Amino acid sequence: MKIGFIGLGNMGAPMAANLVAAGHEVTGFDTAGVTVEGVAQASSGPEAAKGAEVVITMLPNGQILRAVADEVIPAMDKGATLVDCSTVDVESARAVAAQAADAGLGFVDAPVSGGVGGATAGTLTFMCGGTADAFAKAAPLFEIMGQKAVHCGDAGAGQAAKICNNMILGVTMIATCEAFALADKLGLDRQKMFDVVSTSSGYSWTMNAYCPAPGVGPQSPADNDYKPGFAAELMLKDLGLSQQAAEAADADTPMGKAALDLYRRFVEDEDGRGRDFSAMLPRFEKRGRG
């Protein structure tokens, strides 16, 4: 398949490399001039998109997605499909979907879970919104870049699923870190805490698979001085998207709002920027009740 790939950053570059390794013809573009072995380099987004059956974008936010779509959609052949793997606001995904439909193109919003490690290993999960036909066209590529792709519904449904998932993730990580900090102050051994909670009703992904306490549970960023697997500033971004969506939908999400406020403080006022989102644990360790 002839594929255009726009946005060859930490996530996009390994995703594009996996498509090349599977035998696809990939032409890429990134504003930073990034090159990926086996990916033909275009001088612009429209050049990367020209003649492609599928164009994949992996971009920082909805504003940039809309700007790229304005340039790229007119350059795409009718019947081609635009697949956006960025994590953006639901409104931007739906706006670009409508724009693509007006131009005779398919569109899938397909944000991912799995981080840079998953992008490199080809084990991402794709949460997808769009028509059944557009999803079917992109599905073989999802199989190469990931281990699972779920068609969640119409345009924007993929972003909705990602936002809701990561709101749970942010809230749960804070609760897990709070509990470890409380256990410390109560004199409870961290390994014993893990042994109980990981097999009891407090079980969660943040405890069992991504434990924020160094030396406890499987390997995680906590064991690497909290170097990011998923950076705190990315969690802040996703929690911001969840609250933007909650406001638009008139949904009451007090825990999501509290998590946003805490991660904002952690990233903007404390030492959270550039650290893993699980570095909330040393933050709570240092703090008292006040």
User: CA nearest 111: which of 68, 168, 149, 153?
Assistant: 149
Tokens read off for 57: 């974008």
Which residues have a Cβ under 8 Å from the Cβ of 12 and sit 6 or more positions away? 5, 6, 28, 30, 56, 58, 85, 119
Rounded Cα distance, 7 and 28, in Å: 8
Q: Which of 2, 50, 148, 162 is catalytic?
A: 162
Residue that has been written with the tokens 């102050």 in this structure: 185
247 burial level (CB within 10 Å; 0-12, 13-18, 19+): exposed
For 104, list phi and psi in degrees, rounded to 5: 80, 30
Rounded Cα distance, 243 and 90, in Å: 12
- Strands, E, within 62-191: which ranges? 81-84, 106-109, 112-113, 124-130, 146-153
Other C-beta atoms closer than 10 Å to the C-beta of 75 total: 18
Please indicate whether residue 162 is annotated as part of the active site.
yes
Rounded Cα distance, 82 and 84, in Å: 6
Please identify every residue annotated as catalytic. 162
